[in-house]
Amino acid sequence: MDAILLGFTLALFAGLATTVGAAVIFLFKEIKESHMAFSLAFSTGVMITVSFLELLPEGINVIGYAPALILFFVGALVAFLIDFLIPHDYILERASSNLTYDKRLMKVGLFVALGLAIHNFPEGFAVMAGSLQSFELGIVMALAIAIHNIPEGIAVAVPVFFATKKKGIAFKIAFLSGIAEPIGAIVAALVLLPFLSPQVIGASLAFVAGIMVYICIDELLPTATHHSNGNSHLMTFGFLLGSMVMGATLVLLA
């Protein structure tokens, strides 16, 4: 029961990190594209590192090399199907040259929020699965996803703010997209507990690693590149810094 409470609390923490990013609209009059590119590259470094150094290896150790790899690619395929069925883009990708069209911007903001809520759901599942495996892994997962959710909060709040000119509405929508995280954790507890075993948890971690890597490759990196204005050094530095921070976190929690 303590592990379940921990998993839910950590998932709530990770989900509410979207509000940290959304709070940017209260602090700055404008958000530079270079800031967005750096934060997304940083998030990519964080998520890639935790996926390949923690989640997938843990799955391999528990269920074996081949089954873990199969579930990894199944997870990536599931994320692809979600994107295919409900495609979404990040901040202003579809409206960067038409900032005066409020209805279009509002559509972009809501579209992003819906897509992120869908992706936050399996992330909450991942946090709960990690917490059921060990306290340390739950912390690592929550930190990795929380860091990743900060620029996502920006991605939701900024277009909605430009569309409505109301910071409260933009902040609220970003908050709602993050709530999918603890909901995913609750579902994970309900699904995993009746069948709880090291094999189920290991399989879940390998599966979620595939989802996280897909998000990085298909969404975060392309979007960061779009906003970098060709500054590859900014991207590289952000990615490496994110990877170093996550690596240091893994070492400290080992």
Greatest extent of the chain over all pairs of C-alpha atoms, in Å: 54
Per-residue pLDDT of the chain (254 residues; tens, 9 = 90+): 577 888 888 888 988 888 888 887 787 666 677 777 787 788 788 889 888 998 899 899 999 999 999 999 999 998 888 777 765 544 444 444 444 435 555 665 566 666 667 667 767 877 887 787 788 888 888 887 888 778 777 767 776 776 677 888 888 888 888 888 888 778 777 776 677 677 877 888 898 889 888 878 887 788 778 778 888 888 899 899 989 988 887 787 66
Q: Where are the domains of the chain?
A: 2-23+33-253
Q: Are 8 and 207 in contact (CB under 8 A)?
A: no
> What is this structure's pTM?
0.68
Q: What is the DSSP string of 197-244?
A: -HHHHHHHHHHHHHHHHHHIIIIIHHHHHHHTTT-HHHHHHHHHHHHH
